[in-house]
Structure 1
Amino acid sequence: MSQLEQHLDHYSAQLEQLKQQGNLRQFTSNIQHGRMIQINGQSMLNLSSNDYLGLASDLHLREQFFDQTPNDLRIMSSSSSRLLTGNFPEYEQLEASLSQAFYGRSALLFNSGYHMNIGILPALSDAKTLILADKLIHASMIDGIRLSSAKYVRYRHNDLNHLSQLLQKYHADESFDRIIIVTESIFSMDGDETDLAELVRIKQQFSKVMLYVDEAHAIGVRGEQGLGCAEQYGVIDEIDFLVGTFGKALASVGGYLICHAIIRDYLINSMRPLIFSTAQPPICMAWTNFIFQKVLALNQQRQHLQQISQYLQQAVQGKGFACPSTSHIVPVIIGESQKTVNKAKALQQQGFYVMPVRPPTVPQHGSRLRICLTSQLNQADLDQLVALL
């Protein structure tokens, strides 16, 4: 057996083990039309998309954008980082739009939410930094913490009493100059949320503390203008690092940070993924700005999404399933991986594209169906789904 064959046998055995556990993942080719998704010739209601406001699948919006987009803006590559020649006017226009919406605070753009979270935390941290992170934060934030030189302690999920105990313990420790609390506002797998108002109140008691909140699943769908949970609870100015993504409700791609102007300047000089990455194409920035202006006025869609979300949460619990959600992400927690996969397949055969989520994305024995609601859905759709659960 050659050396290469030995290596391939090792990886093949790992794949076989995943398959036996019901945790093997594969890409699935699909075609999407509005609220429907077609796979292997079967058309299903799409309940696995992060297109929470239905904007990514809105053909009329795309036509409107391209009708008003001059040919000289249709540039499909920036060809360099922003610090070289990639800082097109479209970048600055989008940052100005974000800054205006977020009460004059500074805005900084990134290629993706993942790119953002693996870059900001290492740039902000040093050996005298302590990061206190919710146990269920997204993989991108965990990877950002691992890349940093900070000490890292997790607090129990959404347990702000535990967080307060850790702050009491570490705040007087002279080996730390700053403590950064890291959390999501709406969590991507359980669909539950942090009490941001209480988190801000805790932060204000400790002079060393800064607050990092990821609004990836809240931007667009929460708050009067869709600016997220921070707007909903009136705490935008109290969050030091307010981050989010354009790749979900905002129908585009990329990430953003809302912060103080000094933080923005510091990251431009210290954040490696920002400094050394080719910037996004200018047309993506123009599209995001176009969509962002629309989102500010979509309060009716936000209210509808909230109503159907509450309806489904109660219906899932009524069927006897654990469902911690308070948002449009509604998990149906089943537990065992293969049983979850089988249930997902049964729902797909009945015309509902629901995906199973398995370890390591969620804890062992925490496999679940993850239902993502969009404003395109109605109660009749959900009644048919609940009947099949």
Structure 2
Amino acid sequence: MNHFEDVIAQVEKQGLSRTLKAIENDKDGYCAFRGQRMLNLSSNDYLGLATNAQLKQDFMHQLAENPSWLFFGSGSSRLLTGNTSLYDEMETALKNWYKSEAALYFNSGYHANTGLLPALSEKKDLILSDKYCHASIIDGIRLSNAEHVRYRHADYDHLESILEKRRHLHQHVFIVSESIFSMDGDAADLKRLVAIKEKYNAILYVDEAHAVGAMGQTGLGLCEQQGVTSKIDILIGTMGKAMASVGAYAILNDTLKQVLVNKARTLIFTTALPSVNMAWSKYIIDKMPSFNNERESLQKLVSYCNGKAKELGFEPSGGFILPFVVGENDVAVQLAEHLQRKGFLIFPIRPPTVPKGTARLRMSLTANLKIEDVDMAMEEIESFIHKS
């Protein structure tokens, strides 16, 4: 066991130690942490729906009228007895919302990303992924038999140069990107990616985890905002962020869905989600197009905070994920602790989550935050920087 003690000691020496934290959600963008009420600046609940009491009350009324939903365990995988009618209703709702051929529901975004690419790709294939793709995508690619090359972050000329040299050597080529990148908050140029995939006869795979619900006229995400929803071959959306639930889904065609039902290990070999979770997810999906007020409130906050970040000398992301890159691990930790003492819940993000030398605070903006409250956090960041 000494080896593992040495591992922990090395992690602590590098300033990379992580711990699990008990945090209780409160209303109006606040939470309780270590006995203190804090403004929650670390949540991915972008529309503030997870703490919306009225939504919860309305759903509970529906639950009372549908006792068959009230099961807290499914007891089986979807391919055995866990695939209740709510799964079918949910996938139909998703298919109709996206105007797609098919949808397939997974237990989480991690399950989706680690299941799809290994099931769909083969040795003769090539996967080209943005260098800043999420760890779940990287793990999925590692589980596949395809060759893998990363292109420089958002460098589509680099992506094309790889395709020009290598497209003819492979059966299928998958181009993989997030739409909103989780650590930098910047947006992919999906129109450019669509044009590239069409030019080189590739398959475009886009993870909309941080965009779906929070962006687009009806909440379909960056793909809707950029007008390319129907042109993305495989689109991943997650329910655990702006959708205030659990699980994830893939939007794709009927053929790919059937391949996944037969080959995706993260679908086949895991217990299905309980009915009560699927009922809540369906409830949220049905209501999602109507949350325009929340999306507008979020956008106002985004505009203000990005302007403020620029004033402080940071590179604004333009979105609702704001990275305050400070460089060194200890500086990020000290700044986070300073903000927590002042009543703002925000955490340091350090390697290996982000590249070495780019430790940061990652501020997540949500629709239930007030500008004046977030402004106070910005002032504390400014004060800390000037003292350092």
Which TM class, normalised by the smaller chain length?
over 0.9
Q: Distance in 2 between matches of 1:248 and 1:167?
A: 33
Q: Distance in 1 between matches of 2:68 and 2:83?
A: 16
Matched, 1:309 2:302: yes
Q: Distance in 2 between matches of 1:299 and 1:192?
A: 22
CA shift, 1:347, in A, is 0.5
**What is the identity, as a one-letter code, of the residue corresponding to 1:199?**
L
**What is the identity, as a one-letter code, of the residue corresponding to 2:190?**
L
**What is the identity, as a one-letter code, of the residue corresponding to 1:245?**
T
Q: Distance in 2 between matches of 1:12 and 1:309?
A: 43
Gaps of 5+ in 1: 1-7
Question: Residues 353-368 of structure 1 correspond to what in structure 2 (within 5 A)?
Answer: 353-368=345-360
Residues 283-336 of structure 1 show CA distances to partners (whole Å, capped at 9, x for unaligned) of 11110010112221111211221221122122112111234x121001100010
Q: Distance in 2 between matches of 1:88 and 1:360?
A: 39
Matched, 1:103 2:99: yes
Matched, 1:42 2:36: yes
- The aligned residue for residue 19 of structure 1 is 12
Matched, 1:184 2:178: yes
Matched, 1:234 2:213: no
Matched, 1:337 2:333: no
Contact 1:340 1:369 survives alignment (8 Å): yes
- The aligned residue for residue 162 of structure 1 is 158
Name the SS for the 1:99 alignment partner: helix
CA shift, 1:280, in A, is 0.6
Q: Distance in 2 between matches of 1:198 and 1:307?
A: 27
- The aligned residue for residue 114 of structure 1 is 110
Question: Residues 185-334 of structure 1 correspond to what in structure 2 (within 5 A)?
Answer: 185-207=179-201, 209-323=202-316, 325-334=317-326
Contact 2:100 2:230 survives alignment (8 Å): no
CA shift, 1:139, in A, is 0.4
CA shift, 1:10, in A, is 1.2
Question: Residues 73-88 of structure 1 correspond to what in structure 2 (within 5 A)?
Answer: 73-88=69-84
Contact 2:218 2:292 survives alignment (8 Å): yes
Q: Distance in 2 between matches of 1:72 and 1:198?
A: 46
Q: Distance in 2 between matches of 1:104 and 1:165?
A: 31
Gaps of 5+ in 2: 382-388
Q: Distance in 2 between matches of 1:114 and 1:264?
A: 18
CA shift, 1:15, in A, is 1.0
Name the SS for the 2:38 alignment partner: strand
- The aligned residue for residue 379 of structure 2 is 387
Question: Residues 104-143 of structure 1 correspond to what in structure 2 (within 5 A)?
Answer: 104-143=100-139
- More moved, 44-53 vs 98-107: 98-107
Q: Distance in 1 between matches of 2:41 and 2:287?
A: 23
Task: Give aligned-pair identity as a percent.
Answer: 46
Matched, 1:351 2:347: no
Q: Distance in 2 between matches of 1:141 and 1:200?
A: 19
CA shift, 1:349, in A, is 0.8
**What is the identity, as a one-letter code, of the residue corresponding to 2:97?**
A
Contact 1:21 1:338 survives alignment (8 Å): no
Q: Distance in 1 between matches of 2:3 and 2:324?
A: 35
- With the length of structure 1 as denominator, give the TM-score of the two structures: 0.95
Q: Distance in 1 between matches of 2:265 and 2:172?
A: 21
**What is the identity, as a one-letter code, of the residue corresponding to 1:131?**
I
CA shift, 1:255, in A, is 0.7
Contact 1:51 1:249 survives alignment (8 Å): yes
Residues 343-387 of structure 1 show CA distances to partners (whole Å, capped at 9, x for unaligned) of 001011111111110011001011000000000112212221111
**What is the identity, as a one-letter code, of the residue corresponding to 1:214?**
D
Q: Distance in 1 between matches of 2:7 and 2:310?
A: 36
Superposed CA RMSD? 1.0
Name the SS for the 1:18 alignment partner: helix
Contact 2:340 2:346 survives alignment (8 Å): yes
Name the SS for the 1:204 alignment partner: helix
Q: Distance in 1 between matches of 2:235 and 2:356?
A: 31
**What is the identity, as a one-letter code, of the residue corresponding to 2:241?**
K
Contact 2:107 2:248 survives alignment (8 Å): yes
- The aligned residue for residue 33 of structure 1 is 26
Residues 237-273 of structure 1 show CA distances to partners (whole Å, capped at 9, x for unaligned) of 1111000100000000001000011111111011111
CA shift, 1:229, in A, is 0.8
The number of residue pairs the alignment matches comes to 378
**What is the identity, as a one-letter code, of the residue corresponding to 1:189?**
M
- The aligned residue for residue 141 of structure 2 is 145
Name the SS for the 1:28 alignment partner: coil
Runs of 4+, deviation exceeding 4 Å: none
Q: Distance in 2 between matches of 1:293 and 1:170?
A: 43
- With the length of structure 2 as denominator, give the TM-score of the two structures: 0.96
**What is the identity, as a one-letter code, of the residue corresponding to 2:35?**
G
